[in-house]
Amino acid sequence: MGMIDNKIVLITGTGGGLGRVAALTFAREGAKVVGCDINVDANNETVELLRHSEVKDATVVQVIERNMFFLKNGPSIISIS
């Protein structure tokens, strides 16, 4: 179990740099991650990194706009409308 299992974190700037590192780190620690970036292509790269990461039970769901994603860890369901 991670330090922050089932906590929700909102991270801006997940298309690269510290935002990307934060998204990957929080996901590895068990958080549900909502990430966004104005650079859609870079943000999609982060989504692909999360999809292919070793985060157990992680599911990446694209939500709202092309530049925002939601990562849920584990079996619980959260909807964003």
Q: Which two tokens stand for residue 63?
A: 């939500």
- What DSSP state is assigned to residue 46? H
| Per-domain boundaries in the chain | 8-73
Condensed to tens digits (0 to 9), the pLDDT of residues 9-19 reads 888 888 999 99
Cβ contacts of 41 within 8 Å, gap of 6 or more: 15
Quote the pLDDT of residue 79.
Answer: 42
Other CB atoms within 10 A of residue 8 CB: 13
- pTM comes to 0.74
| Separation of alpha carbons 66 and 41, rounded Å | 9
Condensed to tens digits (0 to 9), the pLDDT of residues 7-63 reads 888 888 889 999 999 999 988 888 888 888 888 888 889 888 888 877 766 666 554
